[in-house]
């Protein structure tokens, strides 16, 4: 029997993997994908709660999240491309202009 | 209101004020109009003063100035014999000096400013004379201080004049601080600052609880009995005046007089004030303003009587100043400085007379002194004018033949000053000596010796400046002053001659008796004591010996001399008081100022101002280390923060 807790555990694992990716990977594109993973972990919890509480609002909210995420990906990728054109790199170590 | 007969008196204050404002604001480019406004206002004021003295102008209704639950201050006028007499002196001598100034200042470019200053002075001095309470008096008191400052520093491009103006102002400021304490003390003790004679009686001398305490008691019914007047102490069932408080009160009120009348520790400003134009010296620094201190003492005379110790103090300071200044005058060479020290000495006489319970004698001498000292200064001004600004008597000589009118008037003023028999000073000085003798013989002898010195140095001045042969080129060809300058001289000379026997002394004696009667110090039914008189030896012989001794000695010593045969260093240096003050007071103050400067540099500016700047810079330097620029560090810290936030909101309770 798969309970709510199983779903939540999977979501938590996904979230932590995403977070670790954001913190530890050096390539901007990978960091970006990790971010998306964290987003999906959140979506998973929404859907799981909606299913187990017998309510539909969580599932509807996930649609919104996906829509916004799609738009965000478009903007984000565009920024990364622009950045790459400017600096010829996507490694975060090189992007330290804001340091004093 | 102002145009009815009862409001006529207000014009005494309004006219000079208008003239001063108009002169200083509009007319400074039109000297002619300024002179017209100033002299005109002085003339009209003199006419009103005549009407006041004749009794045809009623005392105006007082106006309310400020009103608090415990203090009412009005702007009013007292018309009693004291203020009438003084008013006549102030406006009369003032008018003559105004007229004289037209001639004396004819060649000065800043005439308008000069006459504006004179108008401020006339406004303030009239206010002092007529004031009904000490706050109003103090306001005008500062007004004369201001005009004195402006006029001493009239030639402000000359450094010594600017310094003298500052010195006068600072000396007066110091003394006025004491005066202010006295006024506040009087208010604290009695709840009133009125100096109307009747108020002095009702609220002070007769042990009645004052209005303050009434007001406090009714406003605050929960407090049980009204607080006691701290001036009054119970002593074995008898209520009497606290000696200490009375002494403090008298001495601090006297402080005001010490500054304005340049009594002993504060005397240093008056000789330096001679840097101002000579008419100013005559009007402000000889005849009227410096006498305001004496006038004020006479006004509050019943208060002074509360403290016998205070009276002794006043008499002692007066007596000391009289002989001290006379000694210095013996060795001065500047004609105006000799007269200035003589003024100090005569003011000492007046203050001594007040301290010896003779306010009438003091006022008598004040009046005659106003005549002959104004005359002496104006005549000296005429001499200075004639010699094109020469003030050293050793650079004059033989003037009597060339400027006879000035010489004769100066001589008459000098005879009046030294108390030559028959002249004004003879009577008033004798009265003061009699009063002094009744207080203590020592005062009489010091006063008599001062009279000897006065005769000596004035004769020295006349002999050196007017007789002998001319010692400089300028003294060869002096030119007599015009009518506008000589007519005031003649009028004042006449007054100096007749001032002694036209009943001024009796006039003020009548006022003095009235004052004592009103305040209850002289109970009804008792016969007032007449003016004191001395026996033949002390009253006639001693003064005559002193006067003729002084004249004779000076003649013997100085006739035909071109250089001063005496050279007494300590007197020439004025007992080293300027040096002493420079080293002790001024030096000490400089030290203190440097200490304050150090505090300013290091504590205020160093620690607080620059310190706070350094602190924020330092904190910034530390915090900028946190800005690594690494995106992932930020992300990590952000996530830690988020985790902590969730932990604290959900689990930590």
Tens digit of each residue's pLDDT (9 = 90 or more) over B301-320: 888 888 889 999 999 999 99
* E-assigned strand segments in B191-265: 232-235, 238-241
Closest-approach residue (CA) in chain A for B628: A99
Mean pLDDT of chain B: 86
Q: What is the pLDDT of residue B222?
A: 47
Percent of all residues in chain B with a pLDDT value above 90, rounded to a whole number: 48
- Residue A67 belongs to a domain: yes
Q: Are B57 and B79 in contact (CB under 8 A)?
A: yes
Nearest to B123 by CA among B254, B284, B253: B284
Between positions 12 and 41 of B, the ones with CB within 8 A of A are none
| Residue contact B629–A92, C-beta within 8 A | no
- In-domain check, residue A28: yes
Contacts of B635 in chain A (CB under 8 A): 22-23
pLDDT at A41: 95
Cα B234 from Cα B244, distance rounded (Å): 14
Question: What whole-number percentage of chain A has pLDDT above 70?
Answer: 97
Instruction: Report, as an integer, the average pLDDT of B491-507.
Output: 87
At residue B229, the pLDDT reads: 63
Closest CA to B38 of B128, B127, B117, B103: B117
Query: B632, A19: Cβ pair inside 8 Å?
Result: no
**Model confidence pLDDT, tens digit, residues B115-172:** 999 999 999 999 999 999 999 999 999 999 999 999 999 999 999 999 999 999 999 9
**The predicted structure's pLDDT at residue B1:** 67
Ordered per-residue pLDDT tens for chain A, 100 residues? 889 999 999 999 999 999 999 998 989 899 999 999 999 999 999 999 999 999 999 999 999 999 999 999 999 999 999 999 988 888 888 877 766 6
Q: Three-state DSSP class for B64?
A: strand
User: Scanning every residue of chain A, which has its alpha carbon at the shortest distance from the alpha carbon of B620?
Assistant: A100
What's the whole-number mean pLDDT along residues B486-500? 90
> Rounded CA gap, B415 and B435, in Å?
22
Q: Is B620 on the interface with A (CB under 8 A)?
A: no
Q: Which of A32, A34, A33, A30 is nearest to A18 (CA)?
A: A34
Q: 36-75 in A: which are within 8 Å (CB) of B?
A: none
Radius of gyration from C-alpha coordinates of chain A: 17
Structural domain boundaries enclosing A51: 4-91
Distance from CA of B583 to the nearest CA of A (A): 59
CB nearest to A98's CB, from B629, B632, B639: B629
Residue at A35 is within a domain? yes
The minimal CB distance from B624 to the residues A19, A31, A100 is found for A100
User: B241 pLDDT exceeds 80?
Assistant: no
* B636 contacts in chain A (CB < 8 Å): 23
- Which of B236-240, B281-285, B477-481, B604-608 shows the lowest mean pLDDT across its residues? B236-240
pTM check: above 0.90: no
Residues of B in contact with A24 (CB under 8 A): 632
Q: Does B631 touch chain A (CB under 8 A)?
A: yes
C-alpha dihedral, B443 to B448 to B450 to B456, nearest 10°: -170
Number of domains in chain A: 1
Q: Is A96 part of a structural domain of the chain?
A: no
Residues within 8 A of B (CB atoms), A 81-100 only: 92-93, 95-100
* Cβ–Cβ contact B640 with A under 8 A: no
Residue B389 has pLDDT above 90, yes or no: no
Q: Does B617 touch chain A (CB under 8 A)?
A: no
β-bridge partners, B194: B133
Q: What is the CATH number of the domain that holds A19?
A: 1.10.287.3510
Q: Is A99 a member of any domain?
A: no
Contacts across the A-B interface (CB distance below 8 Å) = 28
B16-29: pLDDT as tens digits: 999 999 988 887 78
In a domain, residue A98? The reply is no
% of chain B at pLDDT higher than 70? 92
Domain-embedded: residue A100: no
Q: Is the pLDDT of residue B206 over 60?
A: no
Q: Is the per-residue pLDDT at B221 higher than 70?
A: no
Running DSSP on this structure, what letter comes out for residue B584? I
For range B452-456, the mean pLDDT: 94
Q: Cβ–Cβ of A96/B624 closer than 8 Å?
A: no
Q: Chain B residue with minimal CA distance to A92?
A: B631
pLDDT attached to residue A63: 94
Within 8 A of A80 by CB-CB distance, chain B residues are: none
What is the average per-residue pLDDT within B615-621? 93
The residue with tokens 């009407």 is B51
Residue A55 domain-assigned?
yes
The two three-digit tokens of residue B150, written as one number: 């402006």
Whether B523 contacts chain A with CB within 8 A: no
CA distance B653 to chain A (A): 24
pLDDT at B649: 93
Task: Kindly tell me if the per-residue pLDDT of B207 is higher than 90.
Answer: no
Q: Does A20 touch chain B (CB under 8 A)?
A: no
Cβ–Cβ below 8 Å for B628 and A99: yes
Q: Indicate if the pLDDT at residue B218 is higher than 50.
A: no
Three-class DSSP category at B423: coil
CA nearest neighbour of B336 among B465, B510, B204 = B465
């Amino acid at each position: 029997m798969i309970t709510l807790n199983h779903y939540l555990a999977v979501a938590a694992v996904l979230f932590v993997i995403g977070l670790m990716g954001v913190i530890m990977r050096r390539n901007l594109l990978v960091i970006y994908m990790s971010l998306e993973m964290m987003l999906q972990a959140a979506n998973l919890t929404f859907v799981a709660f909606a299913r187990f509480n017998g309510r539909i609002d969580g599932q509807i909210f996930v649609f919104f999240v996906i829509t916004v995420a799609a738009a965000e990906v478009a903007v984000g990728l565009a920024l990364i491309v622009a950045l790459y054109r400017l600096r010829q790199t996507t490694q975060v170590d090189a992007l330290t202009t804001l340091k004093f | 209101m102002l145009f009815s007969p009862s409001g006529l008196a207000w014009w005494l204050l309004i006219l000079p004020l208008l003239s001063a404002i108009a002169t200083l604001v509009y007319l400074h480019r039109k000297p002619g109009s300024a002179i017209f406004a100033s002299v005109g206002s002085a003339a009209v004021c003199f006419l009103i003063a005549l009407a006041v003295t004749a009794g045809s102008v009623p005392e105006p209704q007082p106006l309310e100035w400020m009103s608090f639950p415990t203090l009412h201050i009005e702007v009013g006028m007292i018309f009693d014999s004291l203020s009438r007499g003084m008013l006549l002196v102030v406006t009369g001598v003032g008018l003559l000096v105004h007229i004289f100034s037209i001639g004396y200042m004819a060649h000065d470019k800043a005439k308008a400013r000069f006459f504006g200053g004179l108008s401020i002075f006339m406004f303030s001095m009239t206010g002092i004379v007529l004031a009904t309470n000490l706050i109003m008096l103090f306001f005008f008191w500062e007004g004369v201080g201001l005009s004195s400052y402006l006029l001493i520093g009239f030639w402000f491009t000359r450094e010594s004049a600017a310094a003298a103006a500052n010195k006068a102002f600072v000396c007066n400021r110091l003394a006025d601080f004491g005066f202010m304490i006295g006024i506040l003390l009087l208010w604290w003790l009695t709840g009133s600052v009125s100096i109307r004679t009747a108020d002095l009686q009702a609220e002070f001398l007769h042990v009645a609880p004052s209005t303050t305490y009434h007001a406090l008691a009714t406003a605050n019914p929960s407090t049980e009995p009204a607080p006691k007047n701290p001036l009054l102490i119970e002593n074995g069932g008898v209520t009497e005046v606290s000696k200490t408080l009375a002494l403090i009160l008298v001495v601090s009120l006297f402080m005001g007089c010490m500054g304005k009348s340049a009594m002993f520790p504060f005397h240093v400003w008056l000789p330096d004030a001679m840097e101002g134009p000579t008419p100013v010296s005559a009007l402000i620094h000889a005849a009227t303003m410096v006498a305001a201190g004496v006038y004020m003492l006479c006004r509050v005379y019943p208060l002074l009587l509360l403290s016998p110790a205070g009276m002794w103090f006043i008499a002692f300071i007066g007596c000391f100043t009289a002989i001290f200044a006379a000694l210095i005058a013996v060795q001065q060479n500047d004609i105006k400085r000799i007269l200035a020290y003589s003024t100090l000495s005569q003011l000492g006489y007046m203050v001594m007379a007040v301290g010896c319970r003779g306010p009438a004698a003091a006022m008598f001498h004040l009046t005659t002194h106003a005549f002959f000292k104004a005359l002496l200064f104006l005549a000296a001004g005429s001499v200075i004018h004639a010699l094109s600004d020469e003030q050293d008597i050793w650079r004059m000589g033989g003037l009597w033949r060339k400027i006879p009118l000035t010489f004769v008037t100066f001589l008459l003023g000098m005879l009046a000053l030294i108390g030559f028999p028959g002249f004004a000073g003879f009577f008033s000085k004798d009265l003061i000596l009699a009063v002094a003798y009744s207080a203590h013989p020592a005062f009489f002898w010091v006063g008599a010796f001062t009279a000897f010195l006065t005769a000596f140095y004035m004769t020295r001045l006349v002999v050196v400046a007017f007789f002998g042969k001319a010692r400089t080129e300028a003294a060869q060809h002096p030119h007599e002053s015009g009518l506008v300058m000589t007519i005031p001289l003649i009028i004042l000379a006449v007054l100096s001659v007749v001032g002694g026997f036209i009943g001024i002394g009796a006039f003020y004696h009548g006022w003095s008796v009235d004052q004592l009667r009103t305040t209850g110090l002289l109970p009804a039914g008792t016969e007032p004591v007449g003016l004191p008189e001395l026996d033949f030896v002390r009253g006639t012989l001693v003064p005559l010996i002193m006067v003729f001794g002084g004249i004779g000695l000076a003649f013997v010593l100085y006739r035909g001399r071109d250089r001063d045969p005496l050279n007494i260093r300590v007197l020439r240096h004025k007992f080293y008081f300027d040096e002493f003050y420079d080293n002790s007071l001024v030096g000490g103050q400089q030290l203190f100022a440097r200490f304050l400067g150090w505090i300013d540099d290091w504590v205020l500016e160093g620690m607080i101002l620059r310190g706070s700047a350094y602190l924020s810079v330092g904190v910034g330097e530390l915090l900028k280390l946190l800005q690594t620029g690494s995106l992932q560090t930020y992300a990590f810290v952000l996530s830690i923060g988020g985790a902590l936030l969730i932990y604290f909101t959900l689990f930590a309770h």
